[in-house]
Amino acid sequence: MKPDELLIETQHLTFRFGGRQVLHDVDLRVPRGSIYGFLGPNGAGKSTTMRLLLGLLPAPAGAVQLFGHDLARHRLGILARVGALIETPSLYDHLSGHDNLEVTRRLRGLPTGRTAEVLATVGLAADAHRPVRQYSLGMRQRLGLALTLLPDPELLILDEPTNGLDPQGIIEMRELLRKLQQEHGKTILLCSHLISEVERVATHVGVIQQGRLLFQGSLSALQRRRHSAAQVVIETDDALRCRNLLPAEFGAATVLSPGTLGLPYHSQEQMAYLAQQLIAAGQPLYGLRCEQPSLEQSFLHLTETALAG
Amino acid sequence: MNTALLAPTPGPLTQLRRSLAADTLKLKHTAALWLALGSGALPVVLYLLIFYFKGQYLVKAGQNPWPSYISHSWQTTAGLLLPLFVVLLCSLVLHVETKASAWKHLDAQPVGHLATYVSKLLVLLGLNLLAQVVFVVLLLASGALLGLLRPGLLFSDYAPPVAAMLTLLGHTYLATLGILALQFVAALWWRNFVTPVAIGMGCTVVGLALLRWEYIDWVPYAEPLLATSKAMVKGKANTLTVAQVFNQTEQLAVGWWVVVLTVAYPLLRWRQQRQ
């Protein structure tokens, strides 16, 4: 198998719900071994896409391919290799954590030992025999993840897995996802509306807004895109005065505050040159740095552009 | 693209076996299981008390008390309690999935929709049978107890008509299948607890109100009472005789069961894909 092989591929995936077009021509490409952050605000079409990927909603034949097979034709064979957590974890409150896993283990016809193994993986072995109704939100989320890990799937589809977790829980979940990808070679499709969350773990990113895929590529491609939007920030005494003294260098600069100037970033040499010129003109230089927009800003930029268009 | 072969899809029977193994585990600690085990006790305790205090008016002196005891308690059970029991049971069993928001989870497992449907149905059929068998066992036990507590009623002097009771159980069981199918489908259609229970209770009351209607045989909610009454014939020497042939009411109940379950399956699939 080639490393750049796609585990999920959709072709012109379109979906109408009643009279409303929910997805427009979505071409999702999730490479094997990636953590693919599927980002978008609530109502953008993330959940619909996930439901289509699992066959919970009917997709047109040929539009969804998982592991290189058409989902419409090989649904059960494909689902045997996928673990999915959609929205809130499906847990039976009257059963213990162990029995909740046992239900799905029996349903999938998996060996008996798997239940104990996944309980250990998510760190719930000690609480396995308590009823799930006594579990905290974080424990429920971990049990939900354990359910998806039961069949030792090659592909995990997780919808907002950090929902409702406290900061410590979020960190643990992030580490667990990273471990699953790096040590166990899992491919993870991670849906989220939290940009900061995706930025920390994802290797690839897809941004969806109003049913359209606005950006798709590696995290570094997104970062390069951000790089082109980087700016040099200069802290001095009087920003306006600097701009007037050195019109050739700072004519294009924007005054960010009375003592701060911003200029589009080009290179390190540009930064050194600007510093030299400023000092030569007798102006103080308190700070000089290159600022990149956060993923959040890029993301907002992408969605705003889409709205404007 | 990866052209690796997918694991072969398990056969329909394997899928059903796995679904059943999972569904039976889900019954642990549920109200549905307790209802099935405990619902038979209510009419039995009621008639135990009635016969204990007023038995002398219900059984002719010197006669076999079993036919009277069985027919009284059986008619009350079949007429009102059994339809309500089936209504409640269907909703309780299916609500286990709804409450856990587990339908989507089930749909994302490598088990076909038909296996899930049939498995749930088999669980309901099993619990319905369990409840009715428990009722028969409790009825026999309570009769034996009356033999000890009220020797004058002569329960100990006659052998209980076990064979007739088992045949009657068959009649009653078949007669509940129409309600079971309708309530099963209603609980899957609305996927909440209240709506199907309200509909089922309403229909049971309507069924009882229309008992004298010429087409009442066609109303599934009245069928347990009608089928039991038709099947149970009190013999000359006050013996319990139960018809061996399945009567028209039971045939209609089985007909409802087959038609409702067959027609509902594609309709439910259609509805689920739009939710």
Residue B22, in any domain of the structure: no
Tell me: pLDDT of A229 over 80. Answer: no
Q: How many CA atoms lie within 13 A of A293 on its CB side?
A: 19
A53 has pLDDT over 60:
yes
Residue-range definition of the domain harbouring residue B195: 29-272
Q: How much is the average pLDDT of A282-306?
A: 74
Write the CB contacts of A3 (distance below 8 Å, at least 6 apart in sequence): A31, A32, A33
Among the ranges given (A46-50, A208-212, A248-252), the one the predictor scored with the smallest mean pLDDT: A248-252
Partner B, chain A 82-141, Cβ-Cβ below 8 Å: 82, 84, 86-88, 90-95, 99, 102-104, 106-109
DSSP per-residue codes, chain B: ---PPPPPPPPHHHHHHHHHHHHHHHTTT-HHHHHHHHTTHHHHHHHHHHHHHHHHHHS-TTS-SHHHHHHHHHHHIIIIIHHHHHHHHHHHHHHHHHHTT-HHHHHTSSS-HHHHHHHHHHHHHHHHHHHHHHHHHHHHHHHHHHHHH-GGG-TTTS---HHHHHHHHHHHHHHTHHHHHHHHHHHHHH-SSHHHHHHHHHHHHHHHHTTTSTTGGG-GGGHHHHHHHHHEEE-TTS-EEE-SS--HHHHHHHHHHHHHHHHHHHHHHHHHTT-
pLDDT at position A163:
81
Tens of pLDDT along chain B (275 residues) come to: 444 678 788 899 999 999 999 999 999 999 999 999 998 899 999 999 999 999 888 888 888 899 989 988 998 898 889 999 999 999 999 999 999 999 999 999 999 999 999 999 999 999 999 999 999 999 999 999 999 999 988 899 999 999 999 999 999 999 999 999 999 999 999 999 999 999 999 999 999 999 999 999 999 999 999 998 888 876 555 778 888 888 889 999 999 999 999 999 999 998 887 76
Q: What is the pLDDT of residues A6-24, one digit of tens each?
A: 999 999 999 988 888 899 9
CATH topology of domain A6-218: Rossmann fold (3.40.50)
Is B1 close to A93, i.e. CB distance below 8 A? Answer: no
Q: What is the mean pLDDT of residues A280-308?
A: 74
Arithmetic mean of pLDDT, A113-121:
95
Instruction: State whether B2 and A5 contact (CB < 8 Å).
Output: yes
pLDDT at res. B3: 45
Strands A13-17 and A20-26: antiparallel
Six-digit token pair at B180? 């079971």
Answer yes or no: do A7 and B100 touch at CB < 8 A: no
What are the start-end ranges of the E strands in A58-118? 64-66, 69-70, 82-85
Of A64, A49, A10, A8, nearest in space to A31 by CA: A8
Burial class (CB in 10 A: 0-12, 13-18, 19+), A266: exposed
What residue of B is the nearest CA neighbor of A98? Answer: B25
Q: Round to whole Å and give the CA distance between A156 and A160.
A: 12
Predicted pLDDT of residue B176: 96
In CATH terms, A230-291 corresponds, of 3.30.1380, 3.40.190, 3.30.70, 3.30.300, to 3.30.70
Does residue B36 belong to any structural domain of this protein? yes
Coil, strand or helix at A234: strand
Query: Does an H or E element contain A2, and which?
Result: none
Q: Give residue A152's region: left, alpha or beta (phi > 0; psi -120 to 50).
A: left
Which residues in chain B have Cβ-Cβ distances shorter than 8 Å to A78?
Answer: 6
In this structure, what are the phi and psi dihedrals at residue B45, rounded to the nearest 5 degrees? -65, -40
* CA distances in angstroms from A71 to A34, A52, A90, A107, A108, listed in the order given: 20, 9, 23, 20, 18
CB-based contact A95 B21, cutoff 8 Å: no
Q: Is residue B20 part of a domain?
A: no
Query: Which residues, 6+ apart, have CB-to-CB distance to A285 below 8 Å?
Result: A234, A235, A236, A275, A278, A279
Write out the H or E segment, with its range, that includes residue A293: none
Q: How far apart are CA B250 and CA B227, in angstroms?
A: 6
Q: Residues of B with CB below 8 A from A106's CB? A: 18, 21-22, 25
* Domain chopping of chain A, boundaries: 6-218, 230-291
Same fold yes or no, A6-218 and A230-291? no
CB contact under 8 A, A102 and B6: no
For chain B, the domain total comes to 1
User: Which carries the bigger pLDDT value, residue A145 or residue A308?
Assistant: A145
Least confident window among A7-16, A124-133, A234-243:
A234-243
CA distance A107 to chain B (A): 5
Orientation of helix B113-149 relative to helix B66-76, angle to 10°: 140
Q: How far is CA A270 from CA A256, A276, A283, in A?
A: 19, 10, 18
Tell me which chain A residue has its CA closest to the CA of residue B18: A107
Residue B17 lies in a domain: no
Average pLDDT estimate for A23-46: 92
Beta carbons of A68 and B28 less than 8 Å apart: no
